[in-house]
Structure 1
Amino acid sequence: MGLLKHSELADRILGGWTGRIAGNMLGKPVESGDHWTSERIDAYLRLTDALPLTDYLPPPPAAGADGFELRPEWPQCVRGRINGSCRDDDIDYTILGLHLLETRGFAFTTEQVGEHWLLRLPYLQTFTAERVAYRNLANGLKPPLTATYDNPYQEWIGALIRADVYGWTSPGDPRRAASLARRDAALSHTGNGVYGAMWAAALIAAAFTAPDVRSALRAALERIPASSRLARTVRHTTALYEAGVGWSDALAELAKENGSLGWIHTVPNAAVLTAGLLYGEGDFTRTVTLTVRGGLDTDSNGATAGSVAGVLCGAAAIPPQWSQPLRDRVRSAVAGFDHARISELAERTVRLATLTG
């Protein structure tokens, strides 16, 4: 943190919050990776005359279009109709992590993460591994059993989407960020599910001081086992980019390698996210739009890509078509946080990031 002036740190953290929420909103209308493939997303964008994509998704054509039905939340998430963010679990967990650090400090335990969920997060706003862990907690199980008992989702993307706040509060310190994220992730995930959270937190922490996104990705890879499938996939994605393979061809190659894992698994989503970050080449708009056009868990990937890109460029450099419709407001199911100001959440995050303990 000492390498950044306070004003720059504040701008970067606000950039992370703004980018995360904007990227989440961008991807939310097409969040159904078994239906909204990359090809179908681009077909919708051609149908609505929105390629190249430089803004939130356009609304559906007035006459409708069979096969292109958006998620039910779409009226709150498409261009021209956004008035503050709509609620989403990707943002709920970021807020929950912030409050955890404020109340428990950086020495929090995995059990305290679970207590925080039970106190602050409604059960029906959890999904897959998080819902299993929540149920296990309510039945009296403790970590690590909460992650392993009757849980077929242990390597899905849920822990990765909870990791951002640990990166924002560890600027320039990927090791610390990964350690914090691992403690959180162990409540509900194992293996690549935990590594995904560690990688994402380290990536965001590295983005504060790295000269470019490739350097941040290299630093993040150092925080997870080199032999893990996640690390191998991130390296493969990077190699395709560095070899000059086009973005769509790279995605096709990666889908052949990891597609059988399903659209909510950590590994194929990390490939789409890594590709978006690399081929976005530091441009906020290009990064979030390529990531969402990559398909799979579009709102989660858009959120993480927006967080990384927002930290890299800072809030002041995020184009206004992304930030202004948010109206500095966020909807949340986390008790006490609905209609919070994004700027206030960022200020609270800055206070944590400047603590030395």
Structure 2
Amino acid sequence: MAESPRDSALFDKVLGGWSGRIAGNMLGKPVEEGEHWTRDHIRRYLERASALPLTDYVPALDPPDPAFELRPEWAECTRGRIDGSCRDDDIDYSILGLHLLETHGFDFTTEQVGEMWLTLLPHLQTFTAERVAYRNLVNGLRPTLTATVGNPYQDWIGALIRADIFGWTNPGDPRRAAALARRDAVLSHTGNGVYAAMWAAAVIAAAFEAKSPRAAVEAGLGFVPPGCELVRTVRRMLDLHASNATWDEALTELDRTVGRLHWIHAVPNAGIITAGLLWGEGDFTTTIALTVRGGLDTDSSGATAGSVAGVMCGAAAIPPQWTDPLGDRVRSAVFGFDGSSIADLARRTALLAEG
């Protein structure tokens, strides 16, 4: 019989992280196109679909409306049509990170991250900074040149979406989680792109013991350079929440301060994740719904917010409308992992977390 985690409470939280990440990703996937699916456009769509407040996966309009064109994968990730998760890079990297730690342990090198990409990840399933880094690896460049040569995406969200595994495997140890996330992130990112990954990993690690989402978010800031734009943006969301601003007011302020940045940039997406966690107030459904309704890179931000919220509440407390359609099955482009059991991925992750 395969080894099982010794700590059932830890397993429940790790499974909550995996399930929350996949559910949040699936929720945001139909409306992932920040230039078209703005916060206002998402709101108008949900009103049109009679889906506000958002308490389940995004419904498809029948008949479709060309003014509200969903992503091509909509038939696999909208309400009533989900049968297991769609394949998505936001989940591929969590799987790849798990395999990395199982293969090389916590002393892995950035070079080993790159080798694993080339071995197990198809080139055309990488995007923006990861695709540039992949090309640089093929051309013989080594880290950290892989992150800087010909790469205009160095501070986008790609490294942040790879960070969860380092939080899940270091429960209550955000310092170590951030350090591991940095070692992974520098393969493809610099500056705020790296800091976002460190912050996300630290928030997730802190979420295992934090008393509130705010406490987890604040703990994550302790391991990122304090003067960077990412920290300033997250702290602005914390301040607005403390002053009793509404979620809409906070997102309007985020637009004002960092709206100049691309919709896949790490900084505004970290702000949206923070707002979802704070105004979600620990409720899983509200957290991922607000995060996705915030717009920008909806599937990525929804995945990270779902991961944090899932760790905090545990898998058993995630409402079944989010997990039942997944059928304990995840699609993946990572060679050898397509159709994996979500529970088995969580089991393996919890074993690493137990040491």
With normalisation by structure 2, the TM-score equals 0.98
Give the C-alpha shift of residue 67 in structure 1: 1.4
Q: Deviation string for 1:4-54 (max 9, x for gaps)?
A: 981110000000000000000000000000110010001000000000110
Amino acid at match of 2:24: G
User: Which residue in 2 is equivalent to 1:110?
Assistant: 110
Measure the CA separation in 2 of the matches of 1:241 and 1:51: 22
Measure the CA separation in 2 of the matches of 1:120 and 1:9: 29
Measure the CA separation in 2 of the matches of 1:189 and 1:164: 16
Q: Which runs of 5+ in 2 are unaligned?
A: none
Measure the CA separation in 2 of the matches of 1:86 and 1:35: 21
SS class of match (2:108): coil
SS class of match (2:166): helix
Residues 1-357 of structure 1 mapped to structure 2, 5 A cutoff: 6-62=7-63, 64-355=64-355
Measure the CA separation in 1 of the matches of 2:72 and 2:101: 33
Measure the CA separation in 2 of the matches of 1:118 and 1:193: 21
Q: Deviation string for 1:161-183 (max 9, x for gaps)?
A: 00000000000000000000000
SS class of match (1:263): coil
SS class of match (1:105): helix
Measure the CA separation in 1 of the matches of 2:325 and 2:246: 32
Give the C-alpha shift of residue 301 in structure 1: 0.3
Q: Which runs of 5+ in 1 are unaligned?
A: none
SS class of match (1:104): helix
Q: Deviation string for 1:303-330 (max 9, x for gaps)?
A: 0000000000000000000000000000
Measure the CA separation in 2 of the matches of 1:157 and 1:72: 22
Give the C-alpha shift of residue 233 in structure 1: 0.4
Measure the CA separation in 1 of the matches of 2:257 and 2:240: 13
Q: Evaluate the alpha carbon distance shift between residue 302 and residue 92 of structure 1 in structure 2; reply closer, same or farther with a 3 A threshold.
A: same
Measure the CA separation in 2 of the matches of 1:60 and 1:157: 30
Give the C-alpha shift of residue 225 in structure 1: 0.6
Q: Runs in 1 of length 4+ with deviation above 2 angstroms?
A: none
Measure the CA separation in 1 of the matches of 2:259 and 2:117: 31
SS class of match (1:285): helix
Measure the CA separation in 2 of the matches of 1:262 and 1:237: 19
Measure the CA separation in 2 of the matches of 1:248 and 1:41: 13
Amino acid at match of 2:58: L
SS class of match (1:329): coil
The root-mean-square deviation of aligned C-alpha atoms, in Å, is 0.9
Measure the CA separation in 2 of the matches of 1:189 and 1:235: 22
Measure the CA separation in 1 of the matches of 2:218 and 2:49: 38
Q: Deviation string for 1:243-267 (max 9, x for gaps)?
A: 1111111101111100111100000
SS class of match (1:50): coil
What is the percent sequence identity of the aligned residues? 68
Q: Deviation string for 1:208-260 (max 9, x for gaps)?
A: 01111111111100010110000000000111111111111110111110011
Measure the CA separation in 1 of the matches of 2:36 and 2:72: 14
Measure the CA separation in 2 of the matches of 1:277 and 1:10: 22
Q: Deviation string for 1:251-294 (max 9, x for gaps)?
A: 01111100111100000000111000000000000000000000
Q: Deviation string for 1:142-174 (max 9, x for gaps)?
A: 001000001000000000000000000000000
